[in-house]
Structure 1
């Protein structure tokens, strides 16, 4: 499967642990740094990766949460047609894509949320309602990240990586510091996937 000539589906070496559905941001594609590093880590930890590519300018007047849910639901349904594809599903999303939090919560799906829109109570509540394992990644220089909400979610059982100087792209004006932040995020994702390796598979 391809999008504009680019592959959208990636298989790990050996037996798959499940599949990760990768939902991008409004202007942050699945090939952008955070999601590309996550893709590599997911494959390394035995997950197949199904990228969701979209053009956010086509959303029109549709509610953004419903628009995102529709795309994620379509990718999920497609995975369930693969042999064993629905056994374990993980959602990985950036910014706009984190509006899939309610979809993940309804199904108890594990999730990695990059720069979730924690200033939106409905989205934060959906993350808090999810029985799945979740990693939240954000920065204090991001106006869409709410540190108090992040602390509440951490107290409720979410894993949280909060970087003091990171903005909504998990970077700064300094190229070297941005690379350092991305390395910190990659290590957090790798460690989180390692901790969930022996997790009990839940039906989806």
Structure 2
């Protein structure tokens, strides 16, 4: 395990046992860092399936337009990605703005609470030829659009929709159910990784 030092974080780069399948980049949300619950547990799932895990850290500017935010996120993610080798993007919320870059490069991707209210991002997810997983909750009135999610699923995306879960994938008024929802999301990720990662490395 190695990585650059970040205050309060032991490492931002993690290596699996044996030869890596590829490199997965955990891309944060606006106020949801790579060590927040969904991405934290996603990192462990990725390691278990043989992926090298890299954390992306940022301090995003205020949202001015979708074009400005897309360009800013793209620049932050693009500078982190290698030019070759197998790459997966695992992003939360604001990180969904990396969808156009993922589509252009044909990168496998996991989108936690993707911003399905932003048509260009939906178009990018639909255009990506690689395997993708969408995870969201029906109580997420910020970003989740059940009809859009089902349309993307019909076009090949894997889908995990959590009844009653909000944008943090928590259940308002029921913390235990929120934790159970996180377990369901990671279970869906585990199944997704089983499908895309080779059995014998």
When residues 103 and 94 of structure 1 are mapped into structure 2, their CA distance, relative to the original with a 3 A threshold, is same
Does structure 1 residue 42 correspond to structure 2 residue 46? yes
- Per the normalisation by structure 2, the TM-score is 0.91
Deviation string 1:165-195 (CA, Å, 9 cap, x unpaired) is: 0000001121100110011011100010001
Distance in 2, Cα, partners of 1:197 & 1:48: 12
Q: CA deviation at 1:21?
A: 1.1
CA contact (8 A) 2:29 2:93 kept: yes
**Cross-structure match for 2:88:** 90
Q: CA deviation at 1:3?
A: 2.4
Considering only aligned residues, what root-mean-square deviation do their CA atoms show, in Å?
Answer: 1.5
When residues 60 and 95 of structure 1 are mapped into structure 2, their CA distance, relative to the original with a 3 A threshold, is closer
**Cross-structure match for 1:158:** 157
**Cross-structure match for 1:33:** 37
For residue 52 of structure 2, give the secondary structure of its aligned residue in structure 1. Answer: strand
CA contact (8 A) 1:3 1:53 kept: no
**Gap runs ≥5 in structure 2:** none
Distance in 1, Cα, partners of 2:14 & 2:62: 27
Q: CA deviation at 1:5?
A: 5.5
Q: CA deviation at 1:61?
A: 5.2
Distance in 1, Cα, partners of 2:58 & 2:197: 30
- Per the normalisation by structure 1, the TM-score is 0.90
For residue 91 of structure 2, give the secondary structure of its aligned residue in structure 1. Answer: strand
Distance in 1, Cα, partners of 2:97 & 2:176: 30
TM superposition outliers: structure 1 runs of 4+ over 3 Å: 58-62
Q: CA deviation at 1:29?
A: 0.5
Distance in 2, Cα, partners of 1:91 & 1:59: 23
**Cross-structure match for 2:166:** 167
